[in-house]
Amino acid sequence: MHGVKRVHQSSEAIQARKLKEQAKITEYLALANDVLSRKTSEDWSLEAFRLTTRLLRTNPEFYTVWNYRRNICLQGIFPNSSPEAIYELICEDLVFTMNALKVHPKVYWIWNHRRWCLNHVPEGPNESDLQGWKKASWERELAVVEKILDADARNFHAWSYRRYVLASMPVSRTEESELAYTAKKIESNFSNFSAWHQRSKVYSSLCESGKLQFDQFKKQELELVRNAMYTDPDDQSVWIYHRWLMGAGDDSELLLQEITAIQELLDEQPDSKWCMECILHYKLLLLQKHSTIVDVKAVSEECQTLLKQLKAIDPYRRQRYDDLAAAVLRL
């Protein structure tokens, strides 16, 4: 159970609640037992299907009943239905699960059922457009995920599902449009690490496929990040993304440039832990990878100073700073 306030109830109040629940329990158990016994006797009728709707509306976490519902479709309904009828039923199930998601956006089984629905959209509407229904369904699906992400921009079920939809669409979206989407999410809230993460994945895939090179988007991304840093220097999301942009630290010029830029922000915000943490990390990379072009002794001392400051302002993680200080000495 997450985020449900505990209210103190007197024993009288508890008794009264239990009494009120009694009728609901009887009704619920009668329905659940009916559905489970129909399942055992392999009842694949439309009536059984409707009973699963009722039960799942009360309890969308009842995974066995979702399974049974799909089996009713596969064993009973689909074999005797026209493609039009199957498509209609699937569309209805997508509406049904959408309504369920509005109330229970984090129930795995509802998301799973949608995947199954989309994978069972039949060919049609006609010979000349066999992919028509599929295309329309997957397009609509992307709009559905966006709606859920509008309600909770960090819902990881929705983000995973979004990636699944993007990978499954018969007509795939361009990576550029996904970059635009993540930019929109980030601009409406810099603190949305899920969107930063998605952005890093899209860029990685563009780079891996050879369509894009780091230098082509480096400047633009650093600008976006800079903007976010200045807006809220305490937000972890942007700093973590910045570390992705810096990669393994092979580019010494980039490291030096970013150290200088972050130092400017630190001068304005002398208590900013994340400014210190990032400068420290990049200086450590300089020491590890570019020791021939930096003044090792001076940079090591700067690292030790930063570590002392970090330890003072961020005592929960003091041992990590001590471990790093010891590692600097060994460099």
We find the least distance from the C-beta atom of residue 313 to another protein, in angstroms, to be: 12
CB of 190 to another protein, least distance (A): 10
- Residues 6+ positions from 323 with CB-CB distance below 8 Å: none
Question: 299: which 2 tokens?
Answer: 């940079």
The answer for residues whose C-beta is within 8 angstroms of residue 50's C-beta and 6 or more apart is none
Q: Decide: 233 and 224 in contact? Cβ < 8 Å.
A: no
SS3 (DSSP) at 24: helix
User: Whose Cβ is closer to another protein: residue 5's or residue 297's?
Assistant: 5
Q: How far is CA 195 from CA 26, 166, 183, 213, 218, in A?
A: 45, 15, 8, 21, 18
Q: Alpha-carbon distance 308 to 299, whole Å?
A: 14
Stretch that binds another protein, among 58-66, 130-138, 171-179, 249-257 (CB under 8 A): 58-66
Subset of residues 125 to 154 that bind another protein, contact rule: CB under 8 A: 154
Of 59 and 213, CB closest to another protein: 59
Pick one of 83, 91, 120, 191: the residue that binds another protein (CB under 8 A): 191
- Binding-site member from 13, 18, 106, 223 for another protein (CB under 8 A): 18
Query: By CB under 8 A, is residue 250 in contact with another protein?
Result: no
Measured between alpha carbons, how far is residue 166 from residues 101, 174, 175, 225, 228 in Å?
20, 9, 10, 26, 27
Residue ranges in contact with another protein by CB under 8 A = 1-6, 8, 18, 21-22, 24-25, 28-29, 32, 36, 40, 58-59, 61-64, 67, 70, 108, 112, 115-116, 154, 156, 159-160, 163, 191, 193-194, 197-198, 200-201, 235-237, 240, 243-244, 315-317, 319-320, 323
